Structure 1
Amino acid sequence: MGRVEGKVALVTGGASGIGLSSAQLLAKEGAKVVIGDFNIEGAKKEAEALQQQGFEATAIFLDAGNADSIKEAVEFTVNTYGTITTLFNNVGLTNLRKDLDVVNMDLDEWDRLMNVNLKSVLLGSRFAIPYMQKAGGGSIINTTSMAAFASDAVRSAYGASKAAVAQLTKYIATQYGKDKIRCNAVAPGLILTPAAKNNMPQGMLDIFSKYNALPYHGEPNDIGYTVVFLASDESKFMTGQVLQVEGGHYIANPSIADVQAWTEQQK
């Protein structure tokens, strides 16, 4: 308890999955938390659940595709708790029906994902940084993805937007480090959020398991604990970094799993 005592955090996309886990863990470790989400009823429900446990949390509607809504969420955080010292830019969208290969993808979907996945990070940081400067520092945490570092047959816009988030993280860290504002990112691999569990058939999960170095999949708390670390003073000498939390899925030559299986068959 108390790893982020006295911090004030805005978590975007905080009503479910990675965002919710992060909001819960931040609150339980002492932060005052604002849950921003398009699903305002879900955000309110989760904030109330934290309040009932004795933690400080509230909720606000957040449309990550709308600049005014992002600004309002930041100002709401400051007006409610007096400052903002932690910003977790976590909203991200993907659409496998429209975000296809480069030739066939929907160009409107490209624009939508760049706006929500990338511009929202820029805007959240843009609006929060002046308050962090007044507070004497802060921590900005961005959700990128392993899709930023490894290509796919589809999801061209998603991967490009997340790669840009990883690079923007370094720019923010460079530009505002002297103000004691740190900016880092977390790159999840496959995380078993409710959305993943509901939409990925077991056969698809088995494929991911085959290439994981670890014998299990990630859970939202695996990212949430990383966010707590990056929000805390434990990481006070870290900035501009991307922490890859992906179960070792991407660390080996991709043929290794097949070679190992083939070797076993020869015995």
Structure 2
Amino acid sequence: MRGLKGKRIVVAGGATGIGAAAVERLVEEGASVVVGDINVAGAEATAKRASEDGGVAVPVAFDLSDEGSIQALIDRAVSELGGVDGLFNVGADVSDANLGRDLDLLEMDLGVWERTLGVNLVGYALAAKAAIPHILAAGGGAIVNTSSGAGWSGARVRPAYSASKAGVNALTRHIATRWGKEGIRCNGLAPGLVMGETQIRQADKEMQAQAIAAALSPRLGRTSDVAGMAAFLFSDDGEWINGQVWSVCGGMHLRG
């Protein structure tokens, strides 16, 4: 891809799954990456893999639910890399203790809603808030937010998760509209069922079969599928794409 060499990108949630795959792809394309995650061991392992061939990947401990920690992540990226050209918001709380208790409204757990919106939406907003001044100082760049088909498809359960992703879509459009003329591109990625390590552990055979049946493609997603699209949106090849939410789902969701 054109224009990724030398770019300085923060991956907020890069220890495992899509985030880890994105770190590896971005470094492979020549970018320098800060790998932020609450899972410090995972961030360190991802950074080590990504930098084996001489690339730059710096692991940093951070918590997407804590404003001070988010600011510290961006500050560390500036000190380590000399600036910030891009931000990939990919973290989310999909733990059984949180997402597993996100049931319908009559079984609503206020704590689950507060945690889900705090991490999946407010955390993204705070990360963008911290990164935007540095991206502007660099002359422009890109932000990519991880959304989901749940943000528009409707579901019988997980309304807090769906609401958080619908909010991510709105946040993405706000950033693109407000700072697009100043050189910031902001787009979203909405993955289908992507079989990273967490999903392989959690998804039963019936769920996988249902996902394949709903898709137009003959297989489930891979983390590399989404990582490739993220790299494209950060690259100069994606320079004229702004304010969009891309479905990377094998055709599970068709939108006009």
Q: Deviations over 1:70-91 (max 9, x none)?
A: 0000010010010000100111
Deviation, 1:49, is 2.2
Q: Tell me how many residue pairs correspond in the alignment.
A: 252
Amino acid in the other structure paired with 1:61: A
Question: What TM-score comes out, normalization by structure 2 length?
Answer: 0.96
- Extract unaligned runs of 5+ from structure 2: none
Alpha-carbon separation, structure 2, partners of 1:169 and 1:96: 23
Asked if 2 retains the 8 angstrom alpha-carbon contact of 1:2 and 1:30, the reply is no
Alignment of 1:1-267 (within 5 A): 3-94=3-94, 95-251=98-254
Alpha-carbon separation, structure 1, partners of 2:3 and 2:209: 36
- Extract unaligned runs of 5+ from structure 1: 253-267
Q: CA RMSD in A?
A: 1.2
Q: Deviations over 1:51-103 (max 9, x none)?
A: 22211111100100000000000010010010000100111123343111011
Amino acid in the other structure paired with 1:205: Q
Q: Deviations over 1:159-208 (max 9, x none)?
A: 00000000110000011112101111101111011111111111211111
Deviation, 1:228, is 0.3
Deviation, 1:6, is 1.4
Asked if 1 retains the 8 angstrom alpha-carbon contact of 2:23 and 2:46, the reply is no
Amino acid in the other structure paired with 1:182: R
Alpha-carbon separation, structure 2, partners of 1:219 and 1:49: 18
Alpha-carbon separation, structure 2, partners of 1:2 and 1:146: 29
Alpha-carbon separation, structure 2, partners of 1:150 and 1:2: 34
Q: Deviations over 1:235-265 (max 9, x none)?
A: 111110011011111239xxxxxxxxxxxxx
The structure with more radius of gyration: 1
Deviation, 1:50, is 2.2
Alpha-carbon separation, structure 1, partners of 2:145 and 2:76: 20
